[in-house]
Amino acid sequence: MILAGSLLLPGTDGDRPGVRLAEGWLRIEGGQIVEVHEGGLPATFDFGGDGCLISPGFIDTHMHLPQFDLIGAHGMSLLDWLDRVTFPNEARWADADYAQAMTERVIDQLLSGGTTSFAAYATVHHEATKRALDCCARRGLRAVVGQVLIDQEAPASMLREADACIAETAALLNDWPSQPEQRVAGNRVSAAVTPRFAITCSEGLLKAAGDLAQKHDAYIQTHLAEMKPELEAVAKLHGGPDYTSVYRKAGLLGSRTLLGHCVYLSDDERRLLAETGSVAAHCPTANSFLRSGTMNRQQLLDSGVALSLGSDIGGGYERSMVRVARAMIESTLYAELVSGGGGCAAPGVSEAWWQATAGNADAMGWPETGRIQEDAEADLVVIQPDVRWQDAHDPLGMVMFAYDDRWVKATVVNGELAYRSEA
Ligand code: GUN
Ligand code: ZN
């Protein structure tokens, strides 16, 4: 398969990583990009053409599969929203057939938006999580999916015994290991240890989760310091000195740990994240939608914390990672404006596009995807804007800020055509 157009190649954005545009084409064979050529367009090609962008597939590092049907429940803050909207919706995944059908539907939505890889929460239900993992593998995506661990401070429909849900997660980790050499060739799906957050997990459950993840060198996903009342509840339930230390004591920090939000962290907590290589998953759309606050991206970067970007559907409302990347720029700009700060620390468009692709791949420990280069996995999106972006003052800026989902013409996953627009 040959894709041609303006390739979004690895580049820089000032002294930060970014992407650069270059006319050219690439050839895919056996799931990989085997040739990349800069220069003119070839005489024949399968997808793309003049005026098209060829981007690495987007990577979403924080979202909830069962929450795609509750997007837009506006006007509540996190803890209220969990009780009134989220937990009742997630209870539907007690029916594994329902969970499977929903996951198929969600994957259709993701592919039509150009998302080819993700890290996601399922629910507390074991069979439903198994079905979700199966779906992701069957559809060829690169995915990390976890059964949510909850043993306190939640409605009865969400509560599980700690021992039982740890045993279930252990079984998932055996079947869906994180190490590629332990997986069947072509399968890019891993299970993750997924304690929901410190409020809904006892100290014992968190510790068992940390031990289990260490034993399997598994991914860990949880939420950290999203909003102020959450911090107070965690301090009451788990004591001090701070929220991040609750996870450190349980052995839950490390380079495979994805921590959603990280809005309210002290200097000590940022240092702890940097020292352990833990990843702070920035979720700008959810942070504004649930009125949680604004993550100070620059401060985390300056502290040496690894960052990623996530849609956090359904606390977040944008399914397209291009728009989430745009929200990352906007939220940083607003924070600057509100604080009356001096120099503008907002990332540029090139860095934002990098973050949603190669940057998120790096945060996940996936150097083999998220970028257009020879030998990379062929996870790609063909985008055909209907604006005259190539002549614009800032071509990629025009694509990002005028973005329209209808521009996604084709999505390639692991070298196979996985979505094609009818239009
Ligand atoms: N904290 C615990 N659970 C959730 C969730 O589902 N969404 C968000 N945004 N924060 C959480
Ligand atoms: Zn979340």
Q: What is the mean pLDDT of the chain?
A: 96
- Asked if pLDDT for residue 346 goes beyond 90, the answer is no
Q: What is the pTM of this model?
A: 0.98
Residue range 128-156: average pLDDT?
A: 98
Spatial separation of the C-alpha atoms in residues 131 and 223, rounded to whole Å: 24
> Ligand 2 center to residue 339 CA distance, Å?
26
* 341: pLDDT strictly greater than 70: no
Give me the pLDDT at residue 262, please.
98
Side-chain half-sphere CA neighbours of 291 within 13 A: 9
Q: What is the pLDDT of residue 343?
A: 53
DSSP letter string, 163-178: HHHHHHHHHHHHHS-S
CA 371 – ligand 2 centroid, Å:
26
Q: How far apart are CA 308 and CA 295, in angstroms?
A: 12
Cβ proximity of 306 and 57 under 8 Å: no
| Cβ neighbours of residue 338 closer than 8 Å, sequence gap 6 or more | none
Q: How many CB atoms lie within 10 A of CB 202?
A: 18
Instruction: Give me the half-sphere count of Cα atoms (radius 13 Å) on the Cβ side of residue 381.
Output: 28
86 lines ligand 1 (CB under 6 A): yes
Helices (H), 96-182: 96-112, 126-138, 162-175
Asked if pLDDT for residue 112 goes beyond 60, the answer is yes
Mapped onto helix, strand or coil, the DSSP state of residue 59 is strand
What is residue 381's predicted lDDT score, i.e. its pLDDT? Answer: 98
Q: Average the pLDDT over 361-374 and give the result.
A: 97
pLDDT digits (tens, 9 = 90+) for 211-248: 999 999 999 999 999 999 999 999 999 998 999 999 99
pLDDT-derived band at 181, boundaries 50, 70, 90? confident
CB of 238 sitting under 6 A from ligand 1: no
| DSSP label of 57 | P
Angle subtended by helix axes 96-112 and 126-138, to nearest 10: 40
* Structural domains in the chain, sorted by start: 2-56+370-420 (2.30.40.10), 58-319 (3.20.20.140)
pLDDT of 176 strictly over 80: yes
Ligand 1 atom 9 nearest Cα:
315
Is 312's C-beta closer than 6 angstroms to any atom of ligand 1?
yes
Nearest to 170 by CA among 193, 152, 148: 193
Give the Å distance between the CA of 122 and the centre of ligand 2: 11
Q: What is the pLDDT of residue 394?
A: 97
For the Cβ of 64 lying below 6 angstroms from any atom of ligand 1, the answer is yes
Query: Which tens digits make up the pLDDT trace of 272-324?
Result: 999 999 999 999 999 999 999 999 999 999 999 999 999 999 999 999 999 99
Q: Is the pLDDT of residue 334 over 90?
A: no
Over pLDDT 90: what percentage of the chain? 93
